[in-house]
Structure 1
Amino acid sequence: MPVTRKNLFGIFSMCCCVLLIITFWKSQKFIPSFGQMESPSQTLRFMMHQAPSISTNESGDKDNSVTTVKKKLKLTTTSNETCKSKTNIVFIKTHKTASTAIQNVLLRYGLHNNLKIAFPRNIHDFNYPSFFSTSSVAKLGSGPYNIVCHHMRMRYDAVKNLMPKDTPFVTIVREPGELFESTFDYFWPIVPSFQRVPHHGNTSMEDWLDKAGEHIRAAGHSVYAHFAKNPTFFDLGYNNLIDDDQYIEKTIDVLSKIFDLVMVSDYLDESMVLFADLLCWDLEHVACLSLNARSHDNEGDDVTRKARIREKARRWNKADALLFDHFNETLWRKVEEFGMNKMAASVRKLTQIRSNLAEICIDGGTAVDSAKINDSTFKKTIFKPKGVSVASYNLKPGAEKIATCRELIASENTFSKQVFDAQ
């Protein structure tokens, strides 16, 4: 076919179009998106769901406070090709053990994966400190529940019957010396026997432990008296006042058969890695910040005195001490089975994810005393017992527009109500 001027023009035009397309593709390829940047790491492309478009101010300029998040990103299902994500989970929430942070993880996962969470009628707890009953569960349509994660005094059979078969059970324990210190300080305002000594300081705790039985008898019965002795044993549904070795050992044996994983708050990173592995979730899904924690810890006190008080606390809380020792050993056996090198690498990754979240969301990158919270509306939602300093977070300017940032720091009851309303 003869080459005409018209044909030459058509060929020239087509070449120009191809050249423009290639040039545009190359320019886009080498402009890093948020998910390709080294900081924050690419793992956060899974975390920053529902991020808004960049807002503009009155002059039409882009709001630079949220320029670190340029796309609407949302949580994905697990990328682990060797197993399938589990969506059914019972988490028995215990007191002063970092359990609120784990509850936050489960509420976020449930919210963004359209799972059905069993909520208490009062949104906060299942008639605690009474034993769990299905009558305390808010009715939400038909069909089985996927997640249980609010405070209760466990009655295993009742919880088990609420959930699909083969639902894994998980809980968390804490070293009893540390647990008693936190419990004494946090619950002093509601435990009459604690109030027989001054509130703050290790001197007060030691004075109380030296005469614990006397203080409890003098204070008489109260609704929250169980916080004074073996509170974790109580939360798990057993008699916290019995010090008999046979009873305690038998109970621990039963609990070992009930729970697929008992996390240890003293080794929370390793526990969270095992938690993610149990559920076949990516580590991005279990990243969290410390919530509802006290903002002071008597760290300036004499080390020898603290060790002495810790030993007294262990003797007084004998059941919790034996419970902790057993499941601490169990945790580290699971770590060895998981692989020590693999665990170390996973902990580093989880730490980096958490650091990146704090870099994006948290003003100053760390917690502050609740008295220093800038948002007055948010400040009112923080539960703070009288005389107790509680740590919380200020969001960076613009971070309040990012759903993940708001959810990471949300107070327990506020976020529970939000998820409940969404269901």
Structure 2
Amino acid sequence: MRLRHCLFRMRLQLVSALVLVSLYISAVSYYHLSGRDLGGTGQDIQVALRQSHDVFPKEDNTAAAQSNFYDPYFHLKLPHLANKHFVKTCEEKTNFVFIKCMKCATETMGTILRRYGYIRNLSFVVPNGKLLYLGWPYPMTHKDYRPSKTSGFNILVEHSIYTKTVMRQIMPADTKYVTIIREPYNHFKSVFNYFNIANVAKIPGPDTLTEYLHNIEKYDAFYKSQEASPIRYCIPNNFSMTQNLLSRCLGMPLGFPPGHPDISSDTLAVQSYIEQLDSEFSLVMILEYFMESLVMLRRLMCWTIKDILYHSVNRQEYRYKRSFPKPRNLEIYYKWSRIDYMLYDHFNETFWKNVGEQGDNFRDEVYFLFQVETQMELYCFGSNRTEGRPPLQIPASPWSNAFNFTAEEDCKLLLTNLFEKIKERYDQM
């Protein structure tokens, strides 16, 4: 029994160590990406980003992923905050649009945002009929959503192309626009796996990723063709899932649908559109820095720590997920998706600039969120959880009042399909 207890404690110490390592990586990344060490320039930052290539993807850096044990005697380790309490200095914001860029932890974000609106009985923009998308990958129209049964809409979170004219017409004037993007080559790998591109495009050989990249125009053309449509599912003809997908989701005019404007060969026009997005979006989150992005979201929206807790969904493992890219593959993809690299470089740099303006307690809040998220995961999903266990008690902090997280309500809600619940609530109105 004593041996098991020692092993249990050793495992908990490992969890805490992993949290600290993750925070250290984030802190080092902050100084590097903000150009504060070694006199780094913006161009240096962009080159370093591509060379570092996210060896340890940040969406996996929550320590809870490394353990299955919840320790009811664990105490949050921020002693210098023990006597500091939450003082609300802002007004909670409830109107927002979240643009889901495919394969950027957007469904995990969707669970956070749907939960926020569902428990407050806010009004969602819901796709028509049994559809999952609000017109995606076509620009959104007024035919794509169900009419509001209240005084208007609060939240738009389902898959859609950023369509400024329509969204501004149906959403309140004080709506916050938010999205999340990720490093383009990692994004490509995730899309390639999730949408089964190797099978749809009939790519031969043991290394289908490399084969695709070295003959990218050929395989992309076949994937988009009518011939491939019976097994492609949901993706219309002539739409590329591997070329500048982030930019397409954010509404950049890149020639789809056929006959629409295409600015892809005009670098100045592309840069101008990115700057326009910068002025219209309140926050562009970065997947590689997910916890930092959640803290930025909480501060923007004046929400609580409990509002941004999450349980990851749609995470998949595949052979080449963590492999370091072959230099030639990376070079090919950079040329193929040059616009997405321009988009990512811009918003990665502005993200860290905004972080640098947050004050000295930003890293403390990230650390606090790491610890709370870890304990929530272990409490809800750890192997030693028991029926009828008492609530997880989270102490007060400078960023949130004390709160409880219950197994019966809160853990259950993390696994509930709220998209269906929201549609059911709409139908019952």
Shift of 1:304: 5.7
Cα shift at 1:240 = 3.8
Q: Which runs of 5+ in 1 are unaligned?
A: 1-65, 69-77, 366-394
Among 180, 201, 221, the alignment partner of 2:225 is: 221
Deviation at 1:310, TM superposition (A): 3.3
Answer with 1 or 2: which has the greater Rg. 1
Q: Which amino acid aligns with 1:409?
A: L
TM-score, reference length from structure 2: 0.66
Q: Paired residue for 1:418?
A: 421
Where 1:228 maps in the other structure, the secondary structure is coil
The 3-state SS of whatever aligns with 1:338 is coil
Pairing partner for 1:403 from 393, 409, 423: 409
Match of 2:281 among 235, 244, 259: 259
1:102 maps to 109
Give the drift of 1:253: 1.4
Letter aligned with residue 187 of structure 2? L
The aligned residue for residue 162 of structure 1 is: 170
Q: Structure 1 residues 102, 282: CA separation in 2 closer, same or farther (over 3 Å shift)?
A: same
Residue 215 (structure 2) pairs with residue 185 (structure 1): no
Counterpart of 2:253? 239
> Residue 211 of structure 2 corresponds to which residue in structure 1?
207
1:375 alignment partner in structure 2: none
1:219: Cα distance to partner? 4.7
Pair 1:269-2:291 in alignment: yes
Tell me, yes or no, if structure 1 residue 312 matches structure 2 residue 320.
no
Once residues 387 and 221 of structure 2 are traced to their aligned partners in structure 1, the CA distance between those partners, rounded to angstroms, is 52
The superposition leaves residues 315-357 of structure 1 with CA deviations (integer Å, 9 ceiling, x where unpaired) of: 2111111100000001000100112x42211111111121111
268-277 vs 215-224, which moves further: 215-224
Is the Cα–Cα contact under 8 Å of residues 80 and 281 in structure 1 kept in the other structure?
no
Instruction: Give 2:370's aligned residue.
Output: 351
2:423 is paired with a residue of what secondary structure? helix
Contact 2:118/2:418 (<8 A) preserved = no
In the alignment, which residue of structure 2 is the partner of 1:91? 98
In the aligned structure 2, how far is the partner of 1:95 from the partner of 1:358?
A: 25
Give distance in 1, aligned partners of 2:91 and 2:168.
22
Find out whether 1:342 has 2:361 as its counterpart: yes
Q: Say if 1:79 and 1:115 are closer, same or farther in 2 by CA, change over 3 A.
A: farther
Structure 1 CA distance for aligned equivalents of residues 321 and 224 of structure 2: 32
What SS class does the counterpart of residue 226 from structure 1 fall into? Answer: coil
SS in structure 2 of the partner of residue 91 of structure 1: strand
Q: Structure 2: how far apart are the matches of 1:409 and 1:312? A: 39
- 1:252, distance to aligned residue in structure 2 (A): 0.6
For 1:94 and 1:183, the matched residues in 2 are separated by 11
Asked if the contact 1:116/1:145 (under 8 Å) is kept, the reply is yes
8 Å CA contact 1:131–1:152 kept in 2: the answer is yes
**Structure 1 residue matching 2:357: 3-state secondary structure:** helix
Do the aligned partners of residues 343 and 123 (structure 1) sit closer, same or farther apart at CA in structure 2, a change above 3 Å counting? farther
Shift of 1:210: 1.5
Task: Structure 2: state its 5+ residue gaps.
Answer: 1-69, 73-84, 227-235, 256-263, 390-405
Instruction: Report the CA distance between 1:79 and its aligned residue.
Output: 5.7
**Structure 1 position 247, deviation (Å):** 2.5
State the secondary structure of the residue aligned to 2:168. helix
Please say if residues 123 and 417 of structure 1, whose CA atoms lie closer than 8 Å, have aligned partners that are also in contact.
Answer: no
Cα deviation digits, residues 77-128 of structure 1 (max 9, x gap): x965210100111111110001111111111111111211111123521122
Structure 2 Cα separation of the partners of residues 173 and 300 of structure 1: 18
Q: Post-superposition shift, 1:220?
A: 5.0
Task: Determine which structure has greater relative contact order: mean sequence separation of CA pairs < 8 Å that are 6+ residues apart, divided by chain length.
Answer: 2
Normalising by structure 1, we get a TM-score of 0.67
Distance 1:131 1:247, change over 3 A: same
Q: 2:353 aligns with which of 324, 333, 345?
A: 333
Q: What SS does structure 2 have at the residue aligned with 1:135?
A: coil
3-state SS of the aligned residue for 2:240? helix
Pick which of 127-136 and 279-288 moved more.
127-136
**Residue 281 (1) aligns with residue 300 (2):** no
Structure 1 residue aligned with 2:46: none
Q: Distance in 2 between matches of 1:398 and 1:419?
A: 28
The Cα shift of 1:137 comes to 1.2
Rate the CA distance shift 1:291–1:300 in 2: closer, same or farther, 3 A. closer
Q: How far, CA to CA, are the matches of 1:138 and 1:144 in structure 2?
A: 11
Q: Which residue of 2 aligns with 1:153?
A: 161
State the alpha-carbon separation in 2 of the partners of residues 209 and 396 from structure 1: 49
Comparing 180-189 with 235-244, which one deviates more in the overlay? 235-244
CA distance in structure 2 between the partners assigned to 1:313 and 1:364 by the alignment: 42
The 1:297/1:398 distance shift into structure 2, 3 A limit, reads farther
Asked if the contact 2:181–2:246 (Cα under 8 Å) also holds between the matched residues in 1, the reply is yes
> For residues 270 and 386 of structure 2, what CA distance do their matches in structure 1 show?
48
| CA shift in 2, pair 1:188/1:281, >3 Å | same
Post-superposition CA distance 1:337-396 (Å, at most 9, x none): 112x4221111111112111111111449xxxxxxxxxxxxxxxxxxxxxxxxxxxxx97
Q: Given residue 361 of structure 2, which amino acid in structure 1 is its aligned partner?
A: K
Contact 2:134-2:140 within 8 A present in 1 as well: yes
The 3 A distance-change label for structure 1 pair 343 and 312 is farther
